[in-house]
Structures are given as structure tokens and as C-alpha cells.
Amino acid sequence: MINNKILGLMGLSARAGKVCFGTDSTIENLEKGKVKLVIVAKDSSERTKKNFLRLCEKYNVHIIEFGTIDDISKSIGKQNKAVIGIKDINLGAEIEKIYNGGEVIG
């Protein structure tokens, strides 16, 4: 249930043009201060996870480990994406709230 809500919000973010995806694009947008939340797939490499954990600490951006590469890719209509960055602060906050067990109204 929670999975579907998060995946739905990720899809909504993608349709709104408020995501960056893939390692390079996400890092580039993090450095520019555009990313509000980073989502890393649970089945991405340890190196990828460590790399983004370090970058998110450096730029003071929240990071969550969620879903599989397949889940994330399908939700944004792409293939083989292990990392996405949410650029919209409200969508990022909403995804994080659900991830942390908060319920969405509606």
C-alpha cells in the first residue's frame, strides 16, 4: 500500500518534470541545489548507495532507500534507473512523510 503511494508520487513528479534520474544527472542537480530528496533503489550497488549518502550529507539533502531498480524505473517511465532526485520540495516532503510512516490524506 505505502509502496504504491510512493511510486505514484514518483510517477507524478516525473510527469510534472520534477525529477532527475540516473547517477550523473542526479549528482549534477544535487550540486546545483535543485534536488530536495534522493531516492536510491535497495538493489543498487553498495558503491552507489555510499556515494549518494556522502553527497546528500554534503549538500544537506534527505535520502531514502526505496524499492527496486525495476520499481523506480517503471514509476518514472524509464529503464534501469537506480537513483532519482525529486526536485519539488512538496512532492519530496510528501514521499518522505509516507516513507516514514506518515499517512496521506485522501
Residue 7 lies inside a defined structural domain of this protein: yes
Residue 104 lies inside a defined structural domain of this protein: no
Instruction: State the pTM of this model.
Output: 0.93
Q: How many domains does the chain have?
A: 1
Residue 106 lies inside a defined structural domain of this protein: no
- pLDDT for 102 equals 75
Between the alpha carbon of residue 15 and those of residues 5, 12, 20, the distances in Å are 15, 5, 11
Residue 66 lies inside a defined structural domain of this protein: yes
- pLDDT for 2 equals 66
* CATH number assigned to the domain comprising residue 64: 3.30.1330.30
Question: How many other C-beta atoms lie within 10 A of the C-beta of residue 59?
Answer: 14
Distance CA 21, CA 104 (A): 25
Instruction: Provide the residue-wise pLDDT of the chain in tens; the chain has 106 residues.
Output: 668 899 999 999 999 999 999 999 999 999 999 999 999 999 999 999 999 999 999 999 999 999 999 999 999 999 999 999 999 999 999 999 999 987 655 4
- pLDDT for 106 equals 43
Residue 61 lies inside a defined structural domain of this protein: yes
Strand (E) or helix (H) holding 57: helix 46-58
Expressed as residue numbers, the domain containing 8 is 2-99
